[in-house]
Amino acid sequence: MGYSRQYVYKQPKDAAKQLAKQAAVKQLVDNQRKLLPRVGTRKIYYLIKEDLKQQNLKFGRDKLFALMQYYGLQIKPRRRYVQTTMSKHWLRKWPNIIKGKTVKQPDEVWVSDITYLKTQQGNCYLNMITDMYSRKIVGYAVDDTMETESMIKALHMATGQRRNKNIPTIHHSDRGLQYCSKEYESLSNNNNIRLSMTENGDPYENALAERMNRTIKEEFGMDRILKTKEQVKN
């Protein structure tokens, strides 16, 4: 049939090696999923990359996607959207000044958004400020309400960790009432921060902040109904 005897006997050995490799990689995946049950494939690959090297396992990202699909381990996104933005107000709305901008260093652009978290005692609200360059959450605030006094704590936290306050930072958000308030504007001006906002109510104009909300809620289990508001804050 055109195959050598050596090739025929080699096939089962190669198949056994491949199965052993897949089992070793799947074990690494399972270890990460015990910590974060809904972590995505790209992040899992980043998390196990060093272990793959140590175990001398040559396994690329495309192969990992195929493995996850074969074992049915891919995460199905939960498509739920509840609007928390109240943009129909008379306060000043700032133009979008990050459109088409290339970010080259930390603290150059921050993005922010507010999302709700459910508890048996009612909803809490989370405001996160994320550095667009490093993807690090530089400030956050959790409270029972979305009032400016509660949500501005995130900006206080973010300004406290800035490396160089002489370099202007752009703070980009939706057109929510909190971000347009005099208190938010004043704190931004005092810390050399320029405000930027979405212009057409399009969530893609603030895509990173929306994505961070989804990551925190879905991958870290904050999308379930927690027992108490205190648990959310902790």
CA-wise closest residue to 113 among 123, 125, 102, 105: 125
Residue 125, classified by CB atoms within 10 Å of its CB into exposed (0-12), middle (13-18) or buried (19+), is: buried
Per-residue confidence of the chain (234 residues) as pLDDT tens digits? Answer: 788 888 888 888 888 888 888 999 999 999 998 888 888 888 899 999 999 999 999 899 899 999 988 888 887 766 555 555 555 555 677 888 898 889 999 999 999 999 999 999 999 999 999 999 999 999 999 999 888 888 899 999 999 998 877 889 999 998 888 898 899 999 999 999 999 999 876 667 889 998 899 888 888 888 889 999 998 888
> Can you count the helices (H) and strands (E) in the chain?
9, 5
Rounded Cα–Cα distance for residues 156 and 62 (Å): 42
0.85 exceeded by pTM: no
Domain residue limits, the chain: 5-70, 109-233
pLDDT at 85: 55
109-233 topology per CATH: Nucleotidyltransferase; domain 5 (3.30.420)
Residue 70 makes CB contacts below 8 A (sequence gap 6+) with none
**Are the C-beta atoms of residues 177 and 86 closer than 8 Å to each other?**
yes
